[in-house]
Amino acid sequence: MELLCPAGNLPALKTAIDNGADAVYIGMKDDTNARHFAGLNFNDGKLVKGADYVHEHGKKLHVAINTFAHPDGEERWRKAVDNAVAIGTDALIIADLGVLDYAATKYPDVERHVSVQASTTNLEAIKFFKNNFDVERVVLPRVLSVQQVRQLAKTSPVKLEVFAFGSLCIMSEGRCYLSSYMTGESPNTAGACSPAKYVRWQETDKGLESRLNNVLIDRYQSDENAGYPTLCKGRFEVDNNVYHALEEPTSLNTLELIPELVKMGIASVKIEGRQRSPAYVEQVAKTWRMALDRFAENPDAYDVEQAWMNTLSNLSEGSQTTLGAYHRKWQ
C-alpha cells in the first residue's frame, strides 16, 4: 500500500521523500488545484526540480489539477495538464470531466486518477470514469464507512485510494458550496475553503471571536484553544442550543485501520495537508512510514503505538483525531 504525502513547496516535497513517502502530490501556482493559497505550490521551475528529486529517489509524483475549469480560462487547466505531463508526472489527479476528457484524449498513456473533488462514492460512478476516461485510480471522498469501502474494493474495476490522515472534510468533497455561500469562493471554483483573506480575529469582552467574511464562526473563552475558522467547524446555535452543529475541530487519523485497508487491497493511503509546513510533513510521513513498515514486517502483531498517536494528535486540529465516517457512530 502506497504512502502518498502532500507537498506545498519544494522543501516539503524533499522532506516527504526523505521520510518515507512512496509518492507525493503537488499542485501548480494557480487556481487549477484545490489548495490555491498564497505562497503555496509550484511554479514552472520548482515543478521541474520537484519532479527530478522525486524521480532520482525512485518515487512517484502526482500532480493535482482538481478544481473546475472556468469558461473564460479553460486553457489554464489544459496547460496545467500539458505542464504536468512535460515534467514527467506519474499521475494526474483530476476532478473536472472536461479536463479528464482532454487528458485522456491527448495523453492516453499518462495515468489518470479521479480526484476526491469528483465525489465518486459508488460502483456505478466509478464505472462512469473508467468507461469514459480509462482512469487508473479513484480517490474516495471521506463519506464512506469502512464497510462501504470494503464493498467497493471488492467490485471496483479500478484501484482505490483513501484518505488516511489530516484535516477532516466532513462533506462529500467537490459537492460543498458552503464556502462560496459565505465568501463567494469555494474549493470548486477558487481552489480554497474558508479562504484566509476573509478571516478576521477580534478580542471582545465576550471572548476572542473568529469571523469569516464577517459571519461569527466561533467565540473562545481564555481557557479554550482557538482554531482556524473553517466554517463547518465553528459553534452555532440551533433552537437555543450552542454547539459544533456540523463538526468539531478535529483531524482524521486511521492508523488503526491499516490492517483492514491492506486486506481490502487499497492501493494508496493519502495524507492531507499541502498547506502544511515541511516540519508537519516530516512528522506525519515518518510516523506513517513506521506504522506501514511495522505492519508489513509482521501483520499479525500489528498494534498502533501510543507514541504514534501522540505525535499525530499533537499535529491535529484541536489536538484530537477521529476515524470520521469510516466509523459509523461518527455519522
Partner 1 sequence: MKFSLGPSLFFWPKNDVEAYYQQALNSKADIIYLGETVCSKRRELRAKDWINLAKELNSNSDKQIVLSTMALLESPAEIQTMRRLCGNGELLIEANDLSAVQMMYELNLPFVAGPAINCYNIATLKVLLRQGMSRWVMPVEVSGDWLKTLLQQAEEENIRDQFECEVFSWGYMPLAYSARCFTARSEDRPKDDCKYCCIKYPEGRKMNSREGERVFILNGIQTMSGYQYNLVNEVPEMVNMGVDIARISADNEKAFTMLDRFGNQLVTPEKYPLDGVEECNGYWHKIAGMSVA
* Binding stretches for partner 1 (CB under 8 A): 68-72, 74, 95-102, 118-125, 127-129, 131-132, 142-145, 148, 151, 170-172, 174-178, 180-184, 186, 188-189, 213, 215-217, 219, 235-239, 241-242, 245-247, 324-325, 328-331
Between CA 133 and CA 114 the distance in angstroms is 10
User: Minimum Å distance from CB 70 to partner 1?
Assistant: 7
**Of 86 and 242, which has the nearer Cβ to partner 1?**
242
**Of 138 and 267, which has the nearer Cβ to partner 1?**
138
Instruction: Check residue 87 and report its DSSP letter.
Output: T
User: Minimum Å distance from CB 236 to partner 1?
Assistant: 5
User: Minimum Å distance from CB 59 to partner 1?
Assistant: 31
Q: Coil, strand or helix: which one is 33?
A: coil
Between CA 51 and CA 256 the distance in angstroms is 32
Query: Which residue stretches of 87-122 are H helix?
Result: 97-106
In this structure, which amino acid lies at residue 306? Q
**Of 30 and 74, which has the nearer Cβ to partner 1?**
74
Between CA 23 and CA 38 the distance in angstroms is 24
Residue 269 β-bridge partners: 3, 162
Whether residue 309 contacts residue 237, with contact meaning beta carbons closer than 8 Å, is answered with no
User: Minimum Å distance from CB 66 to partner 1?
Assistant: 11
User: Minimum Å distance from CB 224 to partner 1?
Assistant: 14
**Of 76 and 159, which has the nearer Cβ to partner 1?**
76
**Of 188 and 283, which has the nearer Cβ to partner 1?**
188
> Which cell numbers hold the place of 328?
459509523
> Which cell numbers hold the place of 273?
495537508
